[in-house]
A and B are shown apart, each in its own frame.
Chain A
């Protein structure tokens, strides 16, 4: 009796159920794929975002304090006619805060500065800092490098990558100076530096990010010549 009732599906039932099943599973799968895709994209963007923002914050904080000299060192300068040794190198006659163009860049993509990190009032060998954008020949990507302590020029000293050159390539790192003179004090400059930083993911160049931030150098830069060599 029971067997005789197992009649199976009719063709029509089968077609309808297959069609419905197909529609539903297609919708579900495409929902899954879309969600996953957008999440992956979001993850990549966040990854890039975190990396570039971290670099930007680091640069802003370090550059802002360029030229710091501890109080005892400053007291020796008052009325002496001497320069702050963290701003101007009298022996070699050059500003220690400088912007340079390397790798044929049209904009300034290397910044050099010093500050009295160990507050001993002397410019030590390990108090030269900098940031630059460099080509990494191994990965064939561009990276942001930090001049770790001994960066006396854009091409010498110890420069280390702070962006992950395996996953991120840096399109642009540029420092744009905007000088502001302080009232009557023609020889003192408050430099505003605008930093542009942009990069993309190496394995998905469609994921890219542009950041820009401006900062005000808290320690004014002396301008012995009156010509503001870095801030013009």
Chain B
């Protein structure tokens, strides 16, 4: 027995092989473990990216939905990100803060979102604004002509009481000379409404003529775009053909009239119907691009009319007793022909036209350049 036990021990010949194999195994394990560690690291990086994109997409959804809500006149929203309480049933949190900056209504949407495990947090901002149609609160006079004005038709003009500065009235503002029918009158708006307009206009001091550079570009003065950027305004407008001018009593807002023929108007803009917010949705801004204007008998336009284009002089033909409550503008010489009377009442509709709650106002939308993720 003793001998055989010794024999068994002495026959342990695999020791070196075992040691070699163990060493190789150890080395392999080390390498594999190191690589595995790197793989885990890479997985973590990929996971981070995934969570970043997931949170990012949710935050962007927040921006979009907040904008939609803003358009529906919701200016603030409850928001509690940590409990994943959400706004509009999504996993983001969006708040809108509205402020007035440099005379403009500006709002900033702030949308936050987290990944499911809360490790990736994204905060996006988007400035939105209300892009107004008029560059200034309202044009300074009821009739502004960037050229010579020739009015055969007797005009009755309700002045802008502050057109030339506080307390300095202005009736007509022109870059060149003004030739008026001698029967033209000026008065305050109320007198005109009461058929009590009696002051002669031709000799008054409130005709501002030959002013040259006061408005180097009437289009810019009115709308903020240079006249060679008129397409920018056109893009915001409802485009109609001259023959559609007859149906302008069916909705307010900005219209761009282009095509052949005259724009014949019976009624445009309507002041007797206010919507539920108390706004008159019918006030119009009409831009007639090389289209002559014809005002039918007893016609009325509530809003602003710009005769725009390169034809000179631009023409307005009046049947009897037409009126424009707002303002009439021309970027060329202007001839106002025929008819026994054109009433021009200076009115400031900017508050109505530009109020964010007016359904036919200038566009509320994303302001280009307002997105940031930092």
A interface vs B, CB < 8 Å?
1-2, 5, 17, 21, 24-25, 28-29, 31-32, 35-36, 39-40, 42-43, 46, 49-50, 53, 57, 61, 64-65, 67-81, 84, 86-87, 115, 117, 184-188, 218-220, 222
Given known pairs A17-B13, A78-B129, the reply for A28 and B21 (CB within 8 Å) is yes
Q: List 16 A-B contacts (CB under 8 A).
A: A2-B6, A21-B17, A31-B28, A35-B28, A39-B34, A65-B373, A68-B371, A77-B367, A79-B131, A81-B135, A81-B224, A81-B225, A87-B369, A115-B372, A184-B235, A187-B231
Q: How far is the CB of B17 from chain A (nearest CB, A)?
A: 6
A-binding segment of B98-106, B160-168, B241-249, B294-302: B98-106
Given known pairs A24-B17, A42-B35, A185-B235, the reply for A71 and B370 (CB within 8 Å) is yes
Measured CA separation A70–B225 after assembly (Å): 21
Q: How far is the CB of A75 from chain B (nearest CB, A)?
A: 4
Q: How far is the CB of A48 from chain B (nearest CB, A)?
A: 11
Q: How far is the CB of A209 from chain B (nearest CB, A)?
A: 13
Measured CA separation A2–B45 after assembly (Å): 67
Q: How far is the CB of B258 from chain A (nearest CB, A)?
A: 14
Indicate if B7 sits at the interface (CB-CB under 8 A): yes
Indicate if B32 sits at the interface (CB-CB under 8 A): yes
Closest to B239 in A: A184
Measured CA separation A117–B226 after assembly (Å): 30
Partner of A35, one of B32, B41, B131: B32
* B369 / chain A contacts, CB cutoff of 8 Å: 67-69, 73-74, 77, 84, 86-87, 219-220
* Max chain B Cβ within 10 angstroms of own Cβ: one of A32, A86, A219: A219
Cβ–Cβ contact A186 & B231, under 8 A = yes
* A67 / chain B contacts, CB cutoff of 8 Å: 368-369
Q: How far is the CB of A205 from chain B (nearest CB, A)?
A: 21
Partner of B49, one of A2, A57, A84: A57
Cβ–Cβ contact B35 & A43, under 8 A = yes
Q: How far is the CB of A114 from chain B (nearest CB, A)?
A: 11
* A35 / chain B contacts, CB cutoff of 8 Å: 28, 31-32
* B367 / chain A contacts, CB cutoff of 8 Å: 74, 77-78
Cβ–Cβ contact A74 & B24, under 8 A = no
Measured CA separation A218–B64 after assembly (Å): 12
Cβ–Cβ contact B102 & A65, under 8 A = no
Indicate if B20 sits at the interface (CB-CB under 8 A): yes
Cβ–Cβ contact B42 & A49, under 8 A = yes
Partner of A36, one of B28, B108, B225: B28
Cβ–Cβ contact B370 & A43, under 8 A = no
Measured CA separation A225–B369 after assembly (Å): 19
Closest to A217 in B: B371
Measured CA separation A57–B366 after assembly (Å): 25
* B7 / chain A contacts, CB cutoff of 8 Å: 5
Measured CA separation A5–B35 after assembly (Å): 51
* B21 / chain A contacts, CB cutoff of 8 Å: 24-25, 28
Indicate if B39 sits at the interface (CB-CB under 8 A): yes
Q: How far is the CB of B15 from chain A (nearest CB, A)?
A: 12
* B6 / chain A contacts, CB cutoff of 8 Å: 2
* A218 / chain B contacts, CB cutoff of 8 Å: 371
* B101 / chain A contacts, CB cutoff of 8 Å: 71-72, 75
Measured CA separation A115–B370 after assembly (Å): 10
The 8 tightest CB contacts between A and B, nearest first, are A79-B224, A218-B371, A75-B101, A39-B35, A75-B104, A69-B369, A84-B369, A220-B368
Measured CA separation A65–B124 after assembly (Å): 11
Cβ–Cβ contact B368 & A222, under 8 A = yes
Contact mask for chain B residues 233-276; partner A; CB cutoff 8 A; 1 contact, 0 none? 00100000000000000000000000000000000000000000
Closest to B132 in A: A79
State which residues 206-228 of B face A: CB under 8 Å: 220, 223-226
Q: How far is the CB of B196 from chain A (nearest CB, A)?
A: 37
Q: How far is the CB of A51 from chain B (nearest CB, A)?
A: 11
Closest to A69 in B: B369
Q: How far is the CB of A68 from chain B (nearest CB, A)?
A: 5
Measured CA separation A67–B342 after assembly (Å): 49
Indicate if B27 sits at the interface (CB-CB under 8 A): yes
* Max chain A Cβ within 10 angstroms of own Cβ: one of B38, B108, B223: B38
* B104 / chain A contacts, CB cutoff of 8 Å: 75, 78-79
Cβ–Cβ contact A71 & B127, under 8 A = yes
